[in-house]
A and B are shown apart, each in its own frame.
Chain A
Amino acid sequence: MRVTFTVNGREEAADDVWAGESLLYVLRERMGLPGSKNACEQGECGSCTVYLDGVPVCACLVAAGQAEGREVRTVEGLADGDSLDPVQQAFVDCGAVQCGFCTPGLVVQAHDLIARVPEPSDVEIREALAGNLCRCTGYEKILDAVRLAASRKASAR
């Protein structure tokens, strides 16, 4: 089947999509957007988190056909050209990235959190990121990054 949807502001189509393919597979293997990661492919790790019509979802749990006509925003669509989104920049600056395989999903999830809750408490950060597994960092630097991104965004307003 043919699947058409908007990705990072551009309309994209994929042909010969098998009905069982996930949104994640189509993004990664058919649209050249491998930023969303394939760590568990069963909705447990959050590495493939993307926005679907503005709501963060695990792209591995969305059948490609369900994205038809909808709007998808992936980690590749967060930066403004060379200028990183404050969440991305904070992850770099705080040492919140090690192997980085969880990073795209965490960045999208944290981006959504700060959009909803501009100055989240630690409890709120932990709750919001509870569905994103990281095996390298022990999460301390990720908390630092989200706090920093929130405060930078707040002071930019």
Chain B
Amino acid sequence: MTIPLRAPDRIAAPGKGGVGESTLRPDGTLKVRGEFAYSSDLWLDGMLWGATLRSPHPRARIVSLDIAPALAHPGVHAVLTHEDVPGRKHFGVDLTWDQPVLAIGEVRHQGEAIALVAADHPETARRALEKIAIEWEILEPLTDAWRAAFDPDYPQVQTLPNPVRHQPVRVGDVDAVRDRAEVVVSGTFEVGIQDQAFLGPESGLAVPGEDGGLDLYVATQWMHNDLDQIGPCLGLEDDRIRMTLSGVGGAFGGREDLSMQIHAGMLALRTGKPVKMVYNRYESFFGHVHRHPARMRYEYGASRDGRLLYADVEIVLDGGAYTSSTRNVVGNAASLGVGPYEIPNVKIDAYGVYTNNPPCGAMRGFGAVQACFAYESMMDRLAAACGLDPVTVRQVNAASQGSLLATGQVVHAPLPMAEMLQQARDLPMPPALDDSDLRNLPGGASQTTHGEGVRRGVGYGVGLKNICFSEGFDDYSTARVRLEVIGGVATALVHTSAAEVGQGLVTIEAQIARTELGIERVVIHPADNQVGNAGSSSASRQSYMTGGAVQAACFAVRDELFSRYGAKYRDLSLVGGKVVSEEHGVIATIEEALGTEAVDETREYHHLPTTGMHPETGQGSTHTQVALCVHRAVVDVDVELGLVKVVELAAVQDVGKILNRLSLEGQIHGGTAQGLGLAVMEEIVVSDGKVRNPSFTDYLIPTILDMPPMRLEILENADPHAPYGLRGAGEPPTLSSTPAIVAAIRDATGLALDRVPVRPEHISGR
């Protein structure tokens, strides 16, 4: 087999630290030198460049399609359409099988893939795409998600009917208690479409194998789920596809669905040559699903002292044309629809629908982000209606260990929400605005006033996120650990298929191996499909799941090593490079114990089983773990110009156990920044089913000028069910920072602000 240039290689994990220490990333040095091999960096002699023709229309029929002029273009090696898909013509993450590999007679969203070209230069491929002639019958796009959910006469978008899923949650009897509420607050909230905006574009290399199979080098979040779709679509058995994770330039949910994998595979199989595909940023906006936009109608009833009596909630999530992850996003929005609050009577109806708007699926926070903006906005409205401050009203209703969530699930682990709110409130406040430097003002150096209209505001947000896969899914990960003497030193090789997407999983894998095997030298094998399923790098689950699997494999290695001593010793352990008996002291060095024989063990780790949601009441123990983050935001708002400067963000998060503080802080900072983006700038603007801002010129993500300094308080109240007591940490801060910032803007302006992102015109009124 030919190995491409810059194929991923084993990386040695430097440093000595075990679990709990801030060891450095094993890939850090390669990354700062520019030598880390990302999926867009791959290269093979004689490779071709693949390109994709995409629909300019959100809904249209393809009357005729002529590839002949493209095929005749010099330098073009192949032009493929749906007729050339070797196997199943449809794919879909979570095996929903409703998305065409290439459009068949019609398109259902702008950017839908129609045809593929392989050529000897990317520009040749692009020019050939322009020569594919299509005669269109353009249809009126179906873009009204609310009608798609509730109007039985609204036309269907695809063969599967609307809604994708309707999930009710019922607790008590909302209608019976409605009259007893002394205070009623309500609102209709909207969340715009957010993009993951990972920086490394969709890309990879497909290399045809001598056995008729395929070597795939791609950036993904879940190799085995990719394979479950790629194999059937390419008509290849799983064992004919060898998949290796190339460097992943961020993911945030946007690499759960397939992008170029099947397409590059088709072109490689057809041409018999390696094919590289790299999307540019424009194409990337169409190459992956986004966060579901949401419209949410909330009504809360409470006593005069702010105690919640009922919640009546309707949530509609627009999934676009295909199913993607919409079912599970709806499940999250429903089960977490009122967040971490005790409410005796709850009526939630969450819907996911098909439309011709941009396709939506997984993004960090996954269904919980949208609901969190609404329920936290509601808590602020309740506070105002009851004359309470926002922290107190949350504390009055806060869930804690032993509480029931809206699904009836008991919170089994510590959930010190009231205390966390207190901690957030008690943190020192940032200094007052120093307007002597223009750059401190909202708008920074482009400020056109002297800050006469600037008002400061403070707001709080709390977010509850499920960790790991939910609703009865058999969620597991697999790890292989090999311990052997290399160059005289005991060395552990950790091998999984889990995707390192930037979050630092490889760092933690090495730390766990060091801790459990009592050694220092650890090598991380490139992630590939030569080892079992690790599940997805999503739902904040890899520290828990693959961490658990690495720990289990280390235990198996350790036990195998101990078995060599038969029954001679009891209570052996591996400490400081030695095999130690509690009774007899040091028995041998690990090198002596191993000799020339490696110990190689593979183990699966499953989290405790969850149940589904009851189809009519939503009841069930649907989540294996929930995790909480509290944010306090301080903002300066120029009420005349509509400009916002987030002055400081403070976060209090309970992570159960800190495996690596340096890495963890980075997750909280980064998650918070994405929540800031949703609060004040990030939105894929859509009209008539078309994306109006598919570029980093027009789709804004926070820069270093937008992101303020952060204060972090990290708590370690262990979850007894989880490895090391840890809680997944990547997502909760993405939930809570958005409502905290918007609450702070409301505090500064007195405006209602029921939609994110908040735009200057929402504040200035013009």
Contacts and interface: CB of A to CB of B under 8 A. Distances in A.
Contacts of B669: 137-141
B697 A18 contact: no
Contact of A101 (B24, B250, B278): B250
Nearest to B500: A99
Contacts of B662: 94-95, 141
B34 interface: yes
Contacts of A35: 33-35
Interface in B37-73: 37-38, 40-41, 43
B486 interface: no
Contact of A34 (B24, B31, B41, B250): B41
Contacts of B34: 33-36, 74-76, 104
Given A39-B199, A107-B32, A143 B281 contact: no
B696 A141 contact: no
A92 interface: yes
Q: Which interface residue of B29, B31, B197, B503 has the most chain A CB atoms within 10 A?
A: B31
Contact of A136 (B27, B29, B439, B670): B670
A150 to B, nearest CB: 15
B281 A140 contact: no
B701 A135 contact: yes
A76 B35 contact: yes
B199 A47 contact: yes
Nearest to A38: B40
B672 interface: yes
B291 to A, nearest CB: 14
B707 A37 contact: no
A129 B704 contact: yes
A141 B439 contact: no
Contact of B33 (A45, A84, A129): A84
B249 interface: yes
B25 A97 contact: yes
Interface residues of A, number: 60
A91 to B, nearest CB: 5
Nearest to B35: A35
A135 B199 contact: yes
Contact of A103 (B32, B280, B697): B32
A12 interface: no
Interface of B is mostly: loop
B666 A99 contact: no
Interface string B513-533: 000000000000000000000
A29 interface: yes
Contacts of A141: 662, 665-666, 669
Nearest to A41: B280
Interface in A16-63: 18, 20-21, 28-29, 32-42, 44-45, 47
Query: How many of chain B's residues touch chain A, expressed as a range?
Result: 35 or more
A123 B705 CA distance: 9
A97 B251 CA distance: 15
A145 B494 CA distance: 29
A99 B703 contact: no
A21 B123 CA distance: 9
A100 B29 contact: no
B259 to A, nearest CB: 15
B668 to A, nearest CB: 8
Contacts of A133: 199, 696, 701, 703
Contacts of B123: 18, 20-21
B33 A100 contact: no
B709 interface: yes
A154 B34 CA distance: 25
Q: Which interface residue of A79, A84, A127, A140 has the most chain B CB atoms within 10 A?
A: A140
A42 B697 contact: yes
Contacts of B695: 40, 42, 44
Contact of A140 (B43, B199, B709): B709
A115 interface: no
Nearest to B698: A44
Given A37-B199, A97-B32, A142 B281 contact: no
A152 interface: no
Nearest to B507: A95
A33 B35 CA distance: 9
A142 B704 contact: yes
Given A93-B24, A95-B665, A139-B673, A126 B35 contact: no
Nearest to B502: A99
Given A101-B199, A141-B669, A135 B33 contact: no
A74 B32 CA distance: 12
Nearest to B674: A135
Contacts of A20: 123
B740 interface: no
Given A18-B123, A133-B199, A101 B249 contact: yes
Contacts of A91: 28, 32
Interface in B215-255: 247-252
B670 A137 contact: yes
A132 B704 contact: yes
Q: List the 10 closest pairs (A to B, CB-CB), nearest first.
A: A35-B34, A99-B502, A138-B669, A100-B31, A101-B249, A138-B673, A75-B34, A44-B696, A34-B41, A88-B32
Interface of A: 18, 20-21, 28-29, 32-42, 44-45, 47, 74-76, 78-79, 84, 88-89, 91-95, 97-104, 107, 123, 125-127, 129-143
11 contacts: A20-B123, A40-B199, A44-B281, A95-B666, A101-B198, A104-B34, A126-B704, A127-B705, A133-B696, A133-B703, A137-B666
Interface of B: 5-6, 22, 24-25, 27-29, 31-38, 40-41, 43, 121, 123, 196-201, 247-252, 278, 280-281, 437, 439, 445, 501-504, 662-663, 665-666, 669-674, 695-697, 701-705, 707, 709-710
Given A29-B43, A35-B35, A74-B34, 16 more contacts: A39-B281, A40-B199, A45-B696, A76-B33, A76-B35, A84-B33, A95-B665, A104-B32, A125-B704, A129-B704, A131-B703, A135-B197, A135-B198, A135-B701, A137-B666, A137-B673
